[in-house]
Every structure is written in structure tokens, then in C-alpha cells.
């Protein structure tokens, strides 16, 4: 009742299952109003959206946002004698990642950032490590799937900013190769793909060359 009353005050018609499609469009227009509405009106519109979206049949329309932000994090143990693959590039090092797939910490957290921005389940749920078909799989497969899901949801990559945390080896000689490969996988211009690398000041497993971690933030934009 409260939703209908407030919606009427804002000239957003009450929703019926028979005109859901048109109602979704109207809701979308309501959401667009949030972006540019004066502050007082914004409060009203936000209140209305929350109430209307409490109806399960309409909640899916929450996907229709002009921008979506996602964050990804990943960490792997480093063990002697394994390959170290970062961003799809084989990096010479005496240790590599212990993992079910190829252990590419950067690609894994990029996938999680994209899936997170889309409000989808995380990489472990979509590609479970209990499934033998992912054993030793190149993580580029996961990135391509995430990019496909992003396009299917109606979004393109805005920009991506990733931070790798590892004590050794130095990544600066490999950063451009990693970025080039990422751009190809993501179908993105180098200007919107950024990679940073930091040590962990010799502290904890990351600083003792026993693990590697990465964070990624991604911005998606509505097509």
C-alpha cells in the first residue's frame, strides 16, 4: 500500500503482472531520475524504489543501472617447483601457485570483480574446484565466460584497476605483457586497464614469498 501511494505521488503507475514489461521500463525511468534529481526528490525516489523492489517479480530490474562496480580478491599459496602464471603470462620464479586450475591470482580476482559487479555468484560457485574439468584449466576460460556474462547482461567494461601483492619476483619487467594479454581477454583498450604491484614489506606469508594476492576493482557501464 505504501509503495503504491508513494509511487502515485511520483507518477509511477502501480505495477500489475499483466504489464510488467511496461512497468519495468517505467521503473527504469524512475531510476534514471535518481541520477539527476534534486536532493529532496532523490530521497523520495529512493524510498519508492526500495519499497517497489520488495516485490520479487520486479527485483530483477535492479540490474538496470547505468554503472555497476565490482571488487575481487584472491590469494594463493606459493610452493616450490610450480609455474607462476599472472595475468596469463608465465613469470620465471622458483615458486608457483598451488591451485586446482592454473592458479592465476590476477585473472581469478578480475573474474570475481566482474561477477560481483553483475551480482552473480563468485568464481568458486560458477567454476567449482570439485569439478575435474577445471583441473589445470587456463584461467583465461573463466575471464572469457565472465566477459560473455557481462555482455549478456547489457554492460561493457568501463575501466579496471588491479593491485598485485607479492614479495618476489619483481613484476615491473612483465607488467606490459600482462596488461596486453588482459586487454585481449577483456576486449578492452589499454587506457582503461591498469595494473599495480606492491610488496608486503617482508611481513606475513605474502612478504615471505609464501603466497601471492590480488585485488581488483572494475566499473561496468550500461551499453
Cβ closer to Zn ion: 45 or 160? 160
Span interacting with Zn ion, options 27-35, 40-48, 73-81, 110-118, rule CB under 5 A: 73-81
Contact 13, 52 (CB under 8 A): no
Q: Does 74 bind Zn ion (CB under 5 A)?
A: yes
Site of grid cell 570475481: 112
**Least distance from Zn ion to the Cβ atom of residue 103, Å:** 6
Q: Does 215 bind Zn ion (CB under 5 A)?
A: no
Residue 221 phi/psi, 5-degree rounding, is -125, 140
Specify which residues 48 forms β-bridges with: none
Joined together, the cell numbers standing for residue 31 give: 531510476
Residues that contact Zn ion, how many (by CB under 5 A): 2
Cβ closer to Zn ion: 94 or 129? 129
In our burial notation (b when 16+ CB lie closer than 10 A, e otherwise), range 23-50 reads bbebbeebbebeeeeeeeeeeebeebbe
Span interacting with Zn ion, options 83-91, 105-113, 180-188, 215-223, rule CB under 5 A: 105-113
Span interacting with Zn ion, options 62-70, 104-112, 140-148, 169-177, rule CB under 5 A: 104-112
Cβ closer to Zn ion: 107 or 147? 107
Spell out where the chain has E strands: 67-80, 84-86, 89-91, 95-97, 155-165, 193-198, 211-222
Binding-site member from 31, 108, 174, 175 for Zn ion (CB under 5 A): 108
Least Cα distance to 76 among 111, 94, 110, 100 occurs for 100
Cβ closer to Zn ion: 188 or 213? 213
Helix, strand, coil percentages (3-state) for the chain, rounded to 5, are 50, 25, 30
Q: Which residues within the stretch 177-206 sit at the binding site for Zn ion (CB under 5 A)?
A: none
**Least distance from Zn ion to the Cβ atom of residue 109, Å:** 7
Cβ closer to Zn ion: 61 or 112? 112
Q: Does 112 bind Zn ion (CB under 5 A)?
A: no
Residues that bind Zn ion (CB under 5 A): 74, 108
Amino acid at each position: 500500500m505504501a509503495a503504491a501511494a508513494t509511487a502515485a505521488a511520483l507518477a509511477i503507475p502501480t505495477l500489475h503482472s499483466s504489464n510488467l514489461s511496461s512497468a519495468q521500463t517505467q521503473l527504469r525511468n524512475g531510476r534514471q531520475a535518481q541520477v539527476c534529481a534534486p536532493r529532496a526528490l532523490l530521497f523520495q525516489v529512493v524510498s519508492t524504489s526500495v519499497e517497489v523492489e520488495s516485490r520479487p517479480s520486479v527485483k530483477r530490474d535492479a540490474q538496470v543501472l547505468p554503472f555497476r562496480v565490482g571488487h575481487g580478491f584472491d590469494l594463493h599459496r606459493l610452493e616450490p617447483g610450480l609455474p607462476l602464471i599472472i595475468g596469463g603470462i608465465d613469470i620465471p620464479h622458483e615458486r608457483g601457485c598451488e591451485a586446482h586450475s592454473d592458479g592465476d591470482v590476477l585473472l581469478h580476482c578480475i573474474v570475481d570483480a566482474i561477477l560481483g559487479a553483475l551480482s552473480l555468484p563468485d568464481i568458486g560457485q560458477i567454476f567449482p574446484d570439485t569439478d575435474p574439468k577445471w583441473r589445470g584449466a587456463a584461467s583465461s576460460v573463466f575471464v572469457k565466460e565472465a566477459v560473455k556474462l557481462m555482455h549478456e547482461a547489457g554492460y561493457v567494461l568501463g575501466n579496471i584497476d588491479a593491485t598485485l601483492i607479492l614479495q618476489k619476483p619483481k613484476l615491473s619487467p612483465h607488467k606490459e605483457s600482462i596488461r596486453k594479454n588482459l586487454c585481449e581477454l577483456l576486449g578492452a583498450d589499454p587506457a582503461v586497464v591498469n595494473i599495480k604491484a606492491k610488496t608486503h614489506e617482508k611481513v606475513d606469508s605474502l612478504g615471505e614469498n609464501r603466497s601471492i594476492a590480488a585485488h581488483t576493482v572494475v566499473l561496468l557501464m550500461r551499453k
